[in-house]
Amino acid sequence: MSRTVVLVDAVRTPFGKAGSMYSGTRADDLMVRAMRGLLERNPKVSPDAIEDVAIAAATQTGDQGMNLGRSASLLAGLPNTVPGYSVDRWCAGAMTAMTSLAGAIAIGSIDIAIAGGVEHMGNHPIGEGIDPNPRFLAERIVEQDALAMGATAERLHDRFPQLTKERADRYAYNSQMKTAAAYAAGKIQRDLIPTASRIPEMGWGIATVDEPPRPTTTMEGLATLKTPFRPAGRVTPGNSSGLNDGATAALLASEDKANELGLTVKAKLVSYAFAGVEPEVMGYGPVPSTIKALAKAGLSISDIGAFEVNEAFAVQVIAFLDHFGIADDDPRVNPYGGAIAVGHPLASSGIRLALNLARAFEEHPEVRYGLTTMCIGLGMGGTVIWENPHFSGGAK
């Protein structure tokens, strides 16, 4: 038994720079705001109709601990009868929350659920509180570089010399420009949930737009940035995603339940796959995960007409594009910009990708299939293939 799973809606808080506009805001409160905003946008869904909640965080301590799926649900006002659980697949947390719930919906154990992801990298710096087993390095299970994401990005440059710093900088520049254009056209703001922010020195405010974008970025400026991961390296703060705070939430349902409740359908889930690669070249993970997801769907890369690729590092995105013979500036890829501009609050980003893809589907009824994909720490990739419910025939 397998049922069609649909994305009904998705939202997110504005993303902040780590420890900046959300420096006095708790991570779980960011998650609660996203969940409440999602439910407010979908009044046909009664809170007591939600059958499960899966919330992701990469650092599950402090205000990101205590089983966010359950604790954030209670804080958001969902009834005590709604269960919840937390998810950790590092950067692919929200993506995994969606696919885990989708599996439950597909086999009929639930009909409607909320997936989410949050990361407050100001409260929880990357790597905080972890204790890598010394065998990783002592027994050469991984190289030292595998434990530093920026170093794995440098390794991608090493492995593929055609992926030059100039190409990475150009990709990063285009991400900033596309984000600025999307903001100017009002395409990003419509899915941002205004969120209370508190900076101890300045008091309370309301965040309504992303804090990280740099619309004044230039290629000349990018060329001058230092490379923190190795001397004379190629990975810089300008061609990487930043350290960010933010939360995302998505409403998933069976197609039958969505139709029964009269809900919108923004995308239909076709297939998904996760795959592993050498931890030292973590950023290459989306290549094998996409190959697997395409095979499971019975599709080829030529069938995909819209792409949302998480921009952890520019080199990681262009490595993916190179493998599949896609140009660095292909207009089908990240049309509203990506994480290099708006930010990458680790476990939350998978839903941001699905949200952006759903908007691209609305604008392009000639596109039938799209995909969301991302690299994952310690050498993994995740890919979800979606079908456009607005497809009207014609091009792919």
Which pLDDT belongs to residue 203? 82
**1 band by pLDDT with thresholds 50, 70 and 90:** low
Residues in the chain: 396
- pLDDT tens digits for range 117-156: 999 999 999 888 889 999 999 999 999 999 999 999 999 9
Of 382, 388, 396, 387, nearest in space to 293 by CA: 382
Torsion sign across C-alpha atoms 27, 32, 33, 37? positive
* Calculated CA dihedral for residues 241, 188, 122, 212, nearest 10 degrees: 60
Give me the residue label for tokens 């889930």: 269
As given in the structure block, the two tokens for residue 296 are 């499971």
Gap between the Cα atoms of 67 and 259, Å rounded: 31
Which pLDDT belongs to residue 396? 53
Looking at per-residue confidence, does 359 or 202 come out higher?
Answer: 359
Gap between the Cα atoms of 103 and 109, Å rounded: 9
pTM assigned to the model:
0.98
User: Between the CA of residue 181 and those of 130, 337, 341, what are the distances in Å?
Assistant: 39, 9, 12
Which pLDDT belongs to residue 394? 63
Is the pLDDT confidence value at 218 over 60?
Answer: yes
Which pLDDT belongs to residue 395? 53
- pLDDT tens digits for range 288-347: 999 999 999 999 999 999 999 999 999 999 999 999 999 999 999 999 999 999 999 999
Active site residues: 91, 344, 375
Instruction: Please state, for a pLDDT cut of 90, what percent of the chain lies above it.
Output: 95
Sorted by where each begins, the domain ranges of the chain are: 5-124+242-386
Instruction: Please state, for a pLDDT cut of 70, what percent of the chain lies above it.
Output: 99
Is the pLDDT confidence value at 182 over 70?
Answer: yes
5-124+242-386: CATH superfamily: Thiolase/Chalcone synthase (3.40.47.10)
Strands 84-87 and 52-56: parallel
Q: What residues form DSSP beta bridges with 382? A: 274, 374
Gap between the Cα atoms of 243 and 129, Å rounded: 17
Average confidence score pLDDT of the chain: 97
Give me the residue label for tokens 């080829």: 300
